[in-house]
Amino acid sequence: MVSVSPVTKTGRQAQIAGILARAAVRSQDELVELLAQRGIRATQATLSRDLEELGAVRLRGSGGALVYALPGEPGGPGSRPGGLPEGHLRAELPAGADREASARLARVAAELLVVAEASANLVVVRTPAGGAQLLASAIDHAGWPSILGTVAGDDTVLVIARDPARGAEVARLLLQLAERRG
């Protein structure tokens, strides 16, 4: 499936934030290439402005090289490691899931997830009044490859699984994640 994003400043900056959340980007040239792979052309000058507007900073990565990162709350795009110790998250997380963001999701789900029910690739998640937006944001930032996206109302989140038959699995994982923190 192809990921699409409008070729607007906002769309480009959203793509940049997504890339920085998942990859150790060492240079603007590397970022230009990664954007090009997503069908977005940008000049170095444009990227420089985008990075400044996004508040990107260069931090020393795990290998010692400087990499771009975005400031934000734990689990948000580009956030620094933090949150729960690794032992709180079992290997049952979907492959490719962001562990720090999943730790944030575990905290939010433990507080807000009331019920999760699946039908085919759709999962309906109920929260207390006003909690759906926060839970949907945490799910989206967790970056689970098995989740295509979310739609949130006031007390209900619709989670859309990528695979047509995996809604029940996504619901189970969300419930288990919430129970580990509860």
Identify the CA nearest to 9 among candidates 39, 53, 69. Answer: 53
Q: What pLDDT is attached to residue 91?
A: 35
**Which DSSP symbol is given to 143?**
T
CATH class for the region spanning 86-181? alpha beta
C-alpha–C-alpha distance, residues 26 and 35, integer Å? 14
Q: Which two tokens stand for residue 120?
A: 């085919």
CATH class for the region spanning 9-69? mainly alpha
How do residues 99-131 score in pLDDT, each as one tens digit? 777 788 888 898 889 999 999 999 999 988 888
User: Where exactly are the structural domains of the chain?
Assistant: 9-69, 86-181
Residue labelled with tokens 């209900």: 156
How do residues 76-90 score in pLDDT, each as one tens digit? 444 433 333 333 333
Identify the CA nearest to 101 among candidates 135, 125, 77, 121. Answer: 77
Stretches where the chain sits below pLDDT 70 are 1-7, 72-98, 181-182
Q: What pLDDT is attached to residue 98?
A: 62
Q: pTM, whole model, 2 decimals? A: 0.53
If phi over 0 gives left and psi between -120 and 50 gives alpha, with beta otherwise, what is residue 95?
Answer: beta
Q: What pLDDT is attached to residue 6?
A: 52
Q: What pLDDT is attached to residue 72?
A: 59
Across the strands, what pairs with 122?
119, 160
Parallel/antiparallel/unpaired status of strands 57-60 and 122-126:
unpaired
